[in-house]
Amino acid sequence: MDTIIITGVAGFIGYNLAERLIHSYNIIGVDNMAYDNPMSYSLKLSRLDNLKKHSNFRFMKYDLSDKYILDVFPGEYYKNKIKCIIHLAAKAGVTDSLIHSDEYVNSNIIGFTNILKLAVHLGIDHVIYASSSSVYGDKFELTPSSETSNTDHPKSFYAVTKKCSELIADLFNKDYGLNCTGLRFFSVYGPWGRPDMSYFKFVNNLVNSEQVTLYGYGESVRNFTYIDDVTKSIELLIDKPKHKIYNVSGLNSSIKIKDLFELIRIKALEYNMIKSDILTPLNCELRSGDVNETNGSSEELFKDINYLPSTKLGDGITEFLYWYRNYYCL
C-alpha cells in the first residue's frame, strides 16, 4: 500500500477523509490538537480515537508552523516513500480572523509553506491543499463563481490567508515543479462536522432550547457541500497530480440561511430531537468578514474526475442529524 500524509487529520474533513482512505493507503496523520473550545476539542479526541483503531494509521502530534518540521520527517527514512500530502490543517473560520491574525498567519501561511518545503524535501511531487470559497469575496455576478472568477477582494483575514496559499503554491510550482492541487471548498457539512458552523450551531441551539441567531437577517446564501462528496473528490484527485485549482461545491445546494434553519428545525422535530415550541430566532447584521452569498460551479472538477458533488441538501442534513443523535445519545 502507498503511504499518504494527511494534515489536520483530527479535524472535520481530515478525519472523514482518513476514514475513507485508510482502506487503500497507509496514513500518517498530523495535527497539533489545538484547543479551541470544549465541544470542538472533544470531537477531535473522538475522531482520533477512531482512527487509532486502524493498524495502518500513524498519528504525529505536531504544529506545522514549527520550522523544524523537516527534522520530524528525515529524508533518509521518508524520501520517495510518500505518494502525496493532503494538507487540510488550518485555522478555519472567517469571523474574528483579523483579531486572531497571528494564529491564522502561523497555521495558514507559515504552516502551509512548511508543508510545501517538506514535499520538496521528501521528493513528493503532489500536494492537495484546502483553499476556500471565501477567496471570491462578495459575489456580484449572477452566474456561479468559477475558478477564473475574480479573487482580488477577499473580505476576511482568513480569506486573505487562503488566497496567499494559492499564490505560494504557484511559486513552488514555478521553482520546484511541485504539483499543487488547490481545493476551494464551499461550506462543507455532515457527520463529525465543525461546531462553529451554522448548521451545527442551529442543532445545538435547538436541542438545548437556546435562541438561534440568524446573521444577515438569515438572507445570506451558502452553497453547501456534503462531506462524503468532498472526500470522494479528493480520493479521485490523488491519481491526478496537476497544478490546478478546483471549486468543490455541492450541486443545487445553495440555500438562504433562514431556510436552512427551517429545514433543520422541521427535520429535528420529525426525529424527536427537539420540542415543538422554540424561541423565535434573533435576527442580526452580517458579521464582519462574512460574505452575502457563495455559489460555485464544480464543472472543472467534473471534467477532470468525472464526479460531481451532488448529495441533496435534505439528505445530507438527515445524515448529520442521525449522526448527532447517536453521538450525543439523544
Closest CA relative to residue 264, chosen from 213, 211, 220, 317? 317
Cα dihedral 184, 189, 192, 197 in deg (nearest 10): 90
- Helix ranges (H only) for 137-245 are 157-176, 198-207, 227-237
> Distance of alpha carbon 320 from its chain centroid, rounded?
16
- Return the ∠ at Cα 268 (arms to 263 and 274), rounded to 5°: 130
Active site residue 158: yes
**3, 26 in Cβ contact below 8 A?**
yes
Determine, following the binding rule CB under 6 A, whether residue 166 of this chain makes contact with ligand NAD: no
Question: Cβ of residue 106: shortest distance to ligand NAD, in angstroms?
Answer: 6
Q: Which residue's Cβ lies closest to ligand NAD?
A: 11
Three-class secondary structure of residue 138 per DSSP: coil
Binding mask 208-227 for ligand NAD (x = CB under 6 A): --------------------
- Asked whether the beta carbons of 97 and 158 are under 8 A apart, the reply is yes
Torsional sign, CA 97, 13, 154, 288:
negative
What is the three-class DSSP state of 224?
coil
Choose, by CB under 6 A, the member of 92, 115, 237, 238 that binds ligand NAD: 92
Q: What are the grid coordinates assigned to 2, written together?
A: 502507498
190: left (phi over 0), alpha (psi -120 to 50) or beta: left
Q: How far is the CB of 277 from ligand NAD (least distance, A)?
A: 31
Q: Which stretch binds ligand NAD (CB under 6 A): 21-29, 169-177, 186-194, 232-240?
A: 186-194
Q: Are 9 and 44 in contact (CB under 8 A)?
A: no
Q: How far apart are CA 232 and CA 237, in angstroms?
A: 9
Decide: is 233 part of the binding site for ligand NAD (CB under 6 A): no
12 sits near ligand NAD (criterion: CB under 6 A):
yes
Strand positions, DSSP E, 236-300: 244-248, 254-256, 282-284
| Residue 245 sits in the site that holds ligand NAD (CB under 6 A) | no
Among 6, 28, 51, 65, binds ligand NAD (CB under 6 A): 65
| Residue from 113, 187, 223, 249 binding ligand NAD (CB under 6 A) | 187
Pick the closer one to ligand NAD by CB: 29 or 241. 29
Between residues 44 and 83, which has the closer beta carbon with respect to ligand NAD?
44
Amino acid at site 125 = D
Contact residue for ligand NAD among 21, 48, 64, 257 (CB under 6 A): 64
Among 6, 26, 27, 32, binds ligand NAD (CB under 6 A): 32
The 3-state DSSP class for residue 147 equals coil
Which distant-in-sequence residues (6+ apart) come within 8 Å of 278 by Cβ? Answer: 206, 209, 212, 265
Q: How many residues bind ligand NAD (CB under 6 A)?
A: 28
34 lines the binding site for ligand NAD (CB under 6 A): yes
Q: Nearest distance from residue 221's CB to ligand NAD, in Å? A: 15
Out of 29, 83, 86, 91, the residue judged to bind ligand NAD by CB under 6 A: 91
90 binds ligand NAD (CB under 6 A): yes
Q: Which stretch binds ligand NAD (CB under 6 A): 60-68, 70-78, 167-175, 275-283?
A: 60-68
Burial class of 197 by CB neighbour count within 10 A (0 to 12, 13 to 18, 19+)? middle
**According to the binding rule CB under 6 A, does residue 281 interact with ligand NAD?**
no
Binding mask 128-157 for ligand NAD (x = CB under 6 A): --x-x-------------------------
- Catalytic residue, chosen from 158, 189, 246, 324, is 158
- The residues annotated as belonging to the active site are 158
Binding site for ligand NAD (CB under 6 A): 8, 10-14, 30-34, 44, 63-65, 88-92, 107, 111, 130, 132, 185, 187-188, 194
